[in-house]
Amino acid sequence: MHTRFLKPLRIAFIGTYPPRQCGIATFTQDLLTALNELYGNVLADEAQRYLHVIAMHRGAEPLDYPPEVRFAVRDHREEDYLDAAEFINLSPIDVVSLQHEYGIFGGEDGSHIIELLEHVRKPVVTTLHTVLHEPSPSQREVLQEIAARSTLLVAQTRKSAEMLREIYDVPADRIAIIYHGAPDVPFLDPAYYKDQFGAEGRPLILTFGLLSPNKGIEYAIEAMAEVAREFPEALYFVVGATHPEVRKRYGESYRLSLEERVKRLGIEENVVFHNRYVSLEELIKFLVAADIFLAPYLVREQAVSGTITYALATGKAIVSTPSWYAEEMLAEGRGILVPFRDAGAMARVLLELLRDEAKRDRMRKAAYEFGRQMVWREVAGQYAEAFERALVLHARAGKRPFRAFKLHTLPEVDLSHLRRLTDGTGVLQHAIYTIPDRRFGYTTDDNARALIVTLLHWDLYGDREIWDLMHTYFSFLHHAQTEGGWFRNLLTYERSFVPEGDSEDAQGRAIWALGHAVAGKLPEDLLALSIELFRKALPTWERLSAARALAFAVLGGAYYLEKFPGDTEVKGALQDLAGKLHHAFVAGAKPDWPWPEEVLTYDNARLPQALIVAGRALERREYVEKGIEALRWLIEVQTDPHGDHLSLVGNQGWYPRGGERARFDQQPLDAAALVDACREAALITGDPFWWREMERAFAWFLGRNDLGVPLYDFTTGGCYDGLQPTGVNRNQGAESTISWLISLLLMKRTLRRRTVAERA
């Protein structure tokens, strides 16, 4: 047992927190409560404020937090993470206790938390609630970035610690192993509380926790049908409300399917659903009353399970599927493992235990004795020691060796002007100053690009408020597409398509947007629609000949193959188009002009970007090399030799080979194309040069340009239509605003992707 520490530390806990209903919230509150008791009820000392909570907050949730929550971070707002870091730095806080789970932070795989860690100047002890054995590249990178910015990492099992060392390259001396905490409960006979649940004299099997499809309850129900034949009085309690995130997306469909299964098997008298979020006091009574705790979960890569921890601490006979956590915790006779998704094996083990009370008792005692080291009093003492150790290590380390990708001053994503330009039909293409100009109607060009804005926003923030815009732009593309797969481009405000407005560019941009959609993280219905529209357009690819149309279709095809790399039809079509584009570069290039056209015009960077992306998708190195060569040249001819800033080719004359380059009007879509193309070049080469060029292209919007004036309007959220000799074009149309938003979203996505070479 750990003695009380004489000097309490001031700790900031970062994680979700009640009343939010999730396992991390419960853990954060339990750890804080246990440390409060260890330190002698320091929460009562309002003047000192020893224990703070920085609560991760969903926008739709009410802010009815208890007093210990000092700061709420809207999980999808990057600026909130920076504000929280400043709050911690300016507060008398000794150490930060971060609860890490990918899903509770905003950004791709929860990357926004890195921005907070980069700016916090206090030691950080990060508790890892998920350690994946086979992470995606993004997940691996996020966890490594968090590890680099944490003083200590807490693994909750030896297996997790092993994976941190072997998969994530975390030094062993930076890892502490501290088990998940559990309540301190006497070793009681199950009969003690059974009468409170109408289970007196009946064998009781229990599963508890927030309900979701990965819990495997359907297999437990199938097993109960077999158990009930021999033990008709047996009961199976499923305790817990449906997980809030599951309920938001799917409603109660999973629970209803389970109830239907119970009826079909005729075991309504044996299976009881307690559909509510129970208090800790009531949960302990459920656990004590249970003869067997059943964990039929479907996920092997489970780094920790609070439910199994609680079952150990209360001394239960435990039957579980072989997650890594269960394998480690239930070794040496503390439980029995059954195969995943095997109701028959589960039934056989349950029957064996119900027949053999002596075996159940042996398992119960072994579990309880092991669980004593997991009670919160012991766990809090270990955390207090880890926090003290982190203070010493942090003081010795001095200044951290890493430097952030210094773009934390990026503006907040403001969609207000895009919403202003959008009505029930789609986004209007032009504006007179900031007012939508209805005279010019709508285009597929702009609605396709606007769809990409919403897709990037959804992938980055997961904010459902974007869905209304997304559905509008999808609807426009669906309406614009003919039976033959061609997208009509120009729609008047009176809702009539104008045939002379059709173009290959619009066709290519629609394919580009739909490929983006297929590659993204859309709900199944929108994904199905994206695939349908994309494939319907496939026969039109052979009609494309214009360089930019080819480039956009190539981008769309390559993104599609990220989701479905085995689609031979799309792959064949992509090979044809990419081959045409590559041939154009090879045939048209001259030693002084490595470009497929005699005039450099608009959206230029999309051409080399398409070659780079196609080269990656098709494993054609020569495509990548040609794209990199052309992109590097494009940057060279658009860099001002005196100011070292981006000086785009203007549309008042363009840039003919051997002629004079027009400086004005410079267009936002050209800067946006460079931002995107440089990002792709950086990702495929790892060369820091391309990250710098991406930042330089983005800086054009913010005033690093020929006139030194910003094109982004912070007041309206819009972007001016171009750079003219006398200043900006004051109109804020769709193309310009969308170009800005795509660039900003790509920059925010890229904040954490700087390579080791960029970390000075």
Question: pLDDT tens digit string along 263-297?
Answer: 999 999 999 999 888 888 888 999 999 999 999 99
My answer on whether 387 and 255 are in the same domain is no
6 inside domain: no
Model pLDDT, residue 708: 85
Strand partners, 14: 54, 98
Distances (CA, A) of 746 to 223, 412, 523, 592, 734: 49, 13, 22, 32, 18
My answer on whether 369 and 495 are in the same domain is no
My answer on whether 356 and 393 are in the same domain is no
Give how far the C-alpha of residue 557 lies from the chain's centroid of Cα atoms, to the nearest Å: 24
497 inside domain: yes
Q: What angle do CA 326, 328, 332 make, to 5 degrees?
A: 105
408 inside domain: no
Model pLDDT, residue 728: 85
> Which CATH number characterizes residue 628's domain?
1.50.10.10
Instruction: Indicate the SS3 state at residue 417.
Output: helix
Model pLDDT, residue 400: 37
Confidence label for 334 from pLDDT (cuts 50, 70 and 90)? very high
Closest CA to 560 of 539, 581, 542, 535: 535
* Calpha distance 245→74 (Å, rounded): 16
* Calpha distance 350→343 (Å, rounded): 10
Model pLDDT, residue 212: 86
Model pLDDT, residue 62: 62
My answer on whether 579 and 632 are in the same domain is yes
Our count of domains for the chain comes to 3
My answer on whether 231 and 279 are in the same domain is yes
Model pLDDT, residue 588: 84
My answer on whether 216 and 147 are in the same domain is no
My answer on whether 165 and 208 are in the same domain is no
The answer, yes or no, to whether residue 495 has pLDDT greater than 90, is yes
The answer, yes or no, to whether residue 618 has pLDDT greater than 60, is yes
Give 500 or 692, the one with higher predicted confidence. Answer: 692
The answer, yes or no, to whether residue 408 has pLDDT greater than 80, is no
* Calpha distance 244→134 (Å, rounded): 27
How large a percentage of the chain has pLDDT more than 70? Answer: 95
Confidence label for 419 from pLDDT (cuts 50, 70 and 90)? very high
| Mean pLDDT, range 299-323, rounded to an integer | 89
- pLDDT tens-digit map of 703-744: 899 888 899 998 899 999 998 876 788 899 999 999 999 999
Model pLDDT, residue 758: 41
323 inside domain: yes
My answer on whether 166 and 198 are in the same domain is no
* Calpha distance 163→152 (Å, rounded): 15
My answer on whether 436 and 574 are in the same domain is yes
| Mean pLDDT, range 310-336, rounded to an integer | 92
Model pLDDT, residue 314: 92
662 inside domain: yes
* Calpha distance 78→67 (Å, rounded): 24
The answer, yes or no, to whether residue 571 has pLDDT greater than 50, is yes
Model pLDDT, residue 407: 45
Model pLDDT, residue 759: 38
- pLDDT tens-digit map of 25-34: 999 999 999 9
| Mean pLDDT, range 180-209, rounded to an integer | 90
Model pLDDT, residue 399: 35
Model pLDDT, residue 247: 83
Model pLDDT, residue 404: 32
Confidence label for 749 from pLDDT (cuts 50, 70 and 90)? confident
Confidence label for 89 from pLDDT (cuts 50, 70 and 90)? confident
Model pLDDT, residue 393: 87
Model pLDDT, residue 44: 79
The answer, yes or no, to whether residue 747 has pLDDT greater than 70, is yes
My answer on whether 421 and 559 are in the same domain is yes
> Which CATH number characterizes residue 85's domain?
3.40.50.2000
Measured in residues, the chain has a length of 760
650 inside domain: yes
Phi, psi of 420, deg, nearest 5: -65, -35
Q: Which of 374, 408, 438 is the last residue of a domain?
A: 374
The answer, yes or no, to whether residue 311 has pLDDT greater than 50, is yes
My answer on whether 317 and 393 are in the same domain is no
Phi, psi of 294, deg, nearest 5: -115, 125
| Mean pLDDT, range 140-154, rounded to an integer | 95
406 inside domain: no
My answer on whether 331 and 389 are in the same domain is no
Confidence label for 1 from pLDDT (cuts 50, 70 and 90)? very low
Model pLDDT, residue 4: 44
Give how far the C-alpha of residue 309 lies from the chain's centroid of Cα atoms, to the nearest Å: 28
Residue numbers of the domain that contains 681:
416-754
Average pLDDT score, the chain: 90
The answer, yes or no, to whether residue 300 has pLDDT greater than 90, is no
Confidence label for 669 from pLDDT (cuts 50, 70 and 90)? very high
Give 455 or 42, the one with higher predicted confidence. Answer: 455
Side-chain-facing half-sphere of 242: CA atoms under 13 Å:
15
409 inside domain: no
